[in-house]
Amino acid sequence: MITLRNFTDLLSAPDKEVLRDPIRKKPYSILEDEKFEEFAMIEKGDWLELKVAHLYKSDGKIKRSSLNSALRLRIPDTNMRKFILYCLKDTTPGKLGSGNILEQLQKLKIPRLVINGEDNRRAVEELMALFLVEVAKKEAMEREIRDIDDTIDKKVYALYGLTDEEIKIIEENIKH
């Protein structure tokens, strides 16, 4: 295993961004937190964004931040980017500990398949080639299920003669 920091240290400066907390207007690299409440990781083109929501003290009170991007990493290698994404995306907030936000994110563990760096990259590439085919199949099935669900919903709405306003009320209540 290696830490995310081991990986980010190899990236050039323009390929990593520590973002600012939108409420406290300070970079996440200097912010301390009481406890991580939520963690998410998303892919935007060549970039991975690590998002956090956390408890922090303000005016003597404990407050909860919203889920905000704290760190962005540009990883042009699709297989490596997706490997890191799938390794870390289900990280539970409890695994992040507390303290300096950036330091806690950089402690996240990424599996190392082979000790040698270049051999590891090739092993990740081979693994991800097979894995991403299966992910694409899963995503296609999920899209097909959503399309079928939408078709069924529309047929039920028509069967009951619902108006657009009634449909809107139903769909708003289902999504919340």
Count of positions (residues) in the chain? 176
63 and 150 in a single domain? The answer is no
93 and 171 in a single domain? The answer is no
Question: Are the beta carbons of 68 and 101 closer than 8 angstroms?
Answer: no
DSSP 8-state symbol, 46: T
Domain annotation covers residue 89: yes
Element spanning 5, H or E: helix 4-8
21 and 84 in a single domain? The answer is yes
Domain annotation covers residue 116: no
Domain annotation covers residue 85: yes
85 and 167 in a single domain? The answer is no
Domain annotation covers residue 52: yes
88 and 55 in a single domain? The answer is yes
- pTM for the whole structure: 0.70
91 and 136 in a single domain? The answer is no
Give how many domains the chain has, as a whole number: 2
Question: Are the beta carbons of 2 and 110 closer than 8 angstroms?
Answer: yes
DSSP secondary structure, 79-127, as one string: HHHHHHHHHHTT--GGGG-SEEHHHHHHT-EE--SSSSHHHHHHHHHHH
Domain annotation covers residue 92: yes
Tell whether the model's pLDDT for residue 105 goes beyond 90: no
97 and 30 in a single domain? The answer is yes
DSSP helix/strand/coil, 48: strand
Could you report the per-residue pLDDT of 112-159, keeping only the tens digit for each? 777 777 787 888 888 888 888 998 899 999 999 999 999 999 999 999
**Domain membership of residue 107 as a residue range:** 2-111
11 and 54 in a single domain? The answer is yes
Tell whether the model's pLDDT for residue 18 goes beyond 70: yes
70 and 11 in a single domain? The answer is yes
Domain annotation covers residue 81: yes
Per-position b or e across 18-42, b if 16+ CB within 10 A of its CB? ebbbeeeeeebbebebeebbebbbe
Could you report the per-residue pLDDT of 28-76, keeping only the tens digit for each? 887 777 688 888 999 999 999 999 988 888 888 888 888 999 999 999 9
48 and 135 in a single domain? The answer is no
21 and 102 in a single domain? The answer is yes
Domain annotation covers residue 164: yes
83 and 19 in a single domain? The answer is yes
Domain annotation covers residue 123: no
CA dihedral defined by 72, 1, 36, 77, rounded to 10 degrees?
20
